[in-house]
Amino acid sequence: MGAKREWILIAGILFFMIGLLGAGLPLIYSVLIAVAIYVGIKAYVGRKNLKLQKEIPEGICVHCGAKITGGKCPNCDGIK
């Protein structure tokens, strides 16, 4: 994840924690819930990225979305 996305995630979870505090939940429980949400999101995104890297090791074409094989897009690189 990029640094900007990381800060947005942290800010969102912090606001969620403040909302839990406003709802009357004690500080320790709201912190534990916020940390659990952060770790859960990071684990989910990490597993998703690993799965995508296994399925599509070279990536996908930005223009048409096809799977890149041999360093070239089968759809876009053939057209001149």
Question: Radius of gyration (Cα) for the chain, nearest Å?
Answer: 20
Q: Which domain holds residue 46?
A: 1-80
φ, ψ at 61 (rounded to 5°): -70, 135
Three-state secondary structure call for residue 72: strand
* Joined tokens for residue 16: 């969620």
Give the span between the Cα atoms of 38 and 55, in whole angstroms.
Answer: 26
Residue 29 has a pLDDT of: 96
Task: Give the mean model confidence (pLDDT) for residues 54-61.
Answer: 84
Residues 49-61: what's their mean pLDDT? 86
For residue 10, pLDDT over 90 is answered with yes
Provide the pLDDT for residue 57: 82
Q: Considering its fold, how many domains does the chain have in total?
A: 1
